[in-house]
A and B are shown apart, each in its own frame.
Chain A
């Protein structure tokens, strides 16, 4: 019992340490805005992959539509700001609601007709592309030209002259995303999602309303991604249909899978490592040999998938068990 308590203390300390590092990073990078933008991008992918974990990791639905919800959030919040001078602080919440509403519209028929696995993946993938076309054609809101957000540099408009505030906003979102994940994991919904993610029929006969559980997960995920979209628009200062990016949506799913499906901090870990490496490589060698960073990135990806198919988070789990929990070591020996 005492050992368990000790473990929890070490765990909390570890998280605290990481949080402190995360908080002081912009102060270290301070003068270099480009670097701050890079780490904010890494955090953005951390947030998205962590949220993806709810639908893709826990509930086992291979969702490839994350940027559909991000784009919807960005366009809602951005359009409200451009047209009605509506503060993005509220706009991003509305963006989340629009994204969640849209997810419901898609999710209800999808789950009603038992669209699963690859078919679910293809549907969500198409969703992003369809929205991209719709917003390119829809001249009133989107159109082929970027629409710039007013640049006042004020708190009301969530427009800052430095990237540092956006970094902290993203960090806040990341904490929320991790918190939601952690919370779901520990409660009935989490157990139900994990169960139906593995075997829907077995879940059904154990009294689990799989359809409503999947919808809950989808709404949770799309709402928070929509909120992220609001901040995303403000960070880049414009809205454009290219926000509906199918390739990047797949990247989010890859991060979720490589990190370790269903493990709360797994996708974040993958985002930190892979996106971190990718952005670093792009910044350092992208200018000399264009495209080389993608090659290196892919090789790393292949190695991870080959040697740790259940996710890089499992490396940390093993190390953690070996170092802190004697029970884990004994069990390993028995096997």
Chain B
């Protein structure tokens, strides 16, 4: 890997009461790559995202982003450093138009004069011209997710965390989304980290994959390695006749 590390998480642990949601997880993401993060329901993927982008603070371990310790930093500062995310359950600004929602993101790095130019670029990039004046409350799920990714992209991140953006999309919508994400990665040089249940997407999009199960990182590697990894098959796909998560899928 010729690129520099952009994000390093080392030994991060988070528990809620007696439940250990994330247990000593190490992971690193390099500039301009696409990594996947998979695991059965309740494996701690979203918690891991929250720990990385500052919505939660880890009990142990540390997170560095672009060489800066961001472990206890607040989310808006982390975003200003260059990390953005989308949410599994969409958090849209229902009263705003699509254009306004994107503008909120664009203000992160642009002043009053430049902001509109950035908004136009993002709308154009994601092909949102037709719905730019629509209220977010009137949009369907596919559009909402796209607006959320667009909004996050408008903050000009170097790393974008996407939490199940493909959930609930039709296969046509999925293909379109995947090509947009690839373009985002190549043209805007944004590293992507996707949490996903849709295997088709993870396997064809990601260069490397991390597998999380019950809060622990059980495997990492290129897609072929992962799909042949015995532990992953047991834990995630639930084909093994033994083990506690055999009925996970």
- Which A residues have a C-beta under 8 Å from some C-beta of B? 187-188, 191-192, 194-195, 198-199, 201-210, 262, 331, 335
> Which of B76, B103, B104, B138 is the one whose CB lies under 8 Å from A210?
B76
Q: Is the CB of B87 within 8 A of A202?
A: yes
What residues of chain B lie closer than 8 Å to A207, measured between beta carbons?
76, 79-80, 84, 105, 107-108, 155
Instruction: List B contacts of A205 (CB < 8 A).
Output: 53, 55, 75-76, 79, 84-85, 152
Q: Which of B91, B107, B115 contacts A192 (CB 8 A)?
A: B107
Query: Which of A191, A192, A210, A335 has its CB near the most chain B CB atoms (within 10 A)?
Result: A191
A contact residues around B112 at 8 Å (CB):
187-188
Q: Is B234 an interface residue (CB 8 A)?
A: no
Once the chains bind, are A194 and B76 in contact (CB under 8 Å)? Answer: no
Q: How far is the CB of A235 from chain B (nearest CB, A)?
A: 36
Which A residues are in CB contact (< 8 Å) with B76? 204-210
Q: What residue in chain A is nearest B161 (Cβ atoms)?
A: A205
Known contacts A206-B104, A206-B151, A206-B155; is-contact A194 B96 (Cβ 8 Å): yes
Q: How large is the interface on B (under 10, 10 to 19, 20 to 34, 35 or more residues)?
A: 20 to 34
Q: Is B53 touching A191 in the complex (CB atoms < 8 A)?
A: no
Binary CB contact string for chain B from 58 to 85 against chain A (1 if under 8 A, 0 otherwise): 0000000000000000111101100011
The closest CB in chain B to the CB of A187 belongs to: B112
Q: Is the C-beta of B133 less than 8 angstroms from some C-beta in chain A? A: yes
B90–chain A nearest beta-carbon distance, Å: 9
A195 to B93, CA, bound (A): 6
A-B CB contacts (within 8 Å), total count? 73
B79-122 toward A: CB 8 Å interface, digit per residue (1/0)?
11000110100011111100011011101100010010000000
CB A103 to nearest CB in B, in angstroms, measures 22
Residues of B with C-beta under 8 A to A195: 93, 96, 101, 104
Instruction: Chain B residues near A262: list those with CB within 8 A.
Output: 95
Could you say which residues of chain A place their CB within 8 Å of the CB of B108?
206-207
Contact A192:B104 (CB < 8 A) given known A199-B93, A204-B76, A210-B76: yes
| Cα(A191)–Cα(B151), bound, Å | 13
Contacts A192-B107, A201-B55; is A206 near B152 (CB within 8 Å)? Answer: yes
Determine the distance from Cα of A208 to Cα of B151 in the docked complex, in whole angstroms.
13
Chosen A-B contacts, 6 in total, with CB atoms closer than 8 Å, are A187-B112, A191-B104, A194-B93, A204-B75, A205-B55, A210-B76
Contact partner of B103 among A191, A203, A209, CB < 8 A?
A191
Complex Cα–Cα for A203 and B152 (A) = 10
Complex formed: what's the CA distance from A207 to B78 in Å? 7
Please tell me if the beta carbons of A201 and B91 are within 8 angstroms of each other in the complex. yes
Known contacts A188-B107, A191-B104, A206-B105; is-contact A198 B96 (Cβ 8 Å): yes
**Contacts of B94 on A, CB cut-off 8 Å?**
198
